[in-house]
Amino acid sequence: MNLESPKTTINKSSETVFNFLSDIKNFEKLMPENISKFEVLGEDKFLFALKGMPEIVLKKKEAVPPNKIVLGAAGGKLDFSLIGHISEIDANTSEVYLQFSGEFNAMMAMMIKGPISKFIETLANNMPSAV
């Protein structure tokens, strides 16, 4: 299953956006209002939970400055990635979108597609004011 957030324009350089996303503590600023838990577990790992959903642990898996950052599921039964794609428009403007990618059975995919789409859209929409 592959889902993408809408592209968001941020009035910061791609390097600034990349550095923001590289610091996993900053993801708390991007979370939706219905977050019930956020905890930094190390310099490259954090745990979060949304109301009514199980806790999810994400770990930074790959970083390609200043264009891409990959977070992946750390443990748990589901294997997925959350990829931030950053494109430079000019020296002070960049465009970002998030891609969610994972292997799920049809039943699970049907259940999580809506909530995950809304989640990555919220993260992307919160970026311009948070970065």
User: Which alpha helices (DSSP H) does the chain contain, by range?
Assistant: 14-22, 27-30, 106-130
Cα distance between residue 85 and residue 98, in whole Å: 6
Contact 17, 131 (CB under 8 A): yes
pTM of this prediction? Answer: 0.94
- Of 40 and 50, the one with more pLDDT: 40
pLDDT of res. 53: 81
**Residues of the chain above pLDDT 70, percent:** 100
Q: Do 81 and 71 form a contact (C-beta atoms < 8 A)?
A: yes
> What is the 8-class DSSP label of residue 26?
G
Statement: residue 49 has pLDDT above 80: yes
| 3-class secondary-structure state, position 25 | helix
Residue 63 has a pLDDT of 97
Q: Is 61 helix (H, G, I), strand (E, B) or coil?
A: strand
Whole-number pLDDT of residue 106: 93
Distance CA 48, CA 38 (A): 4
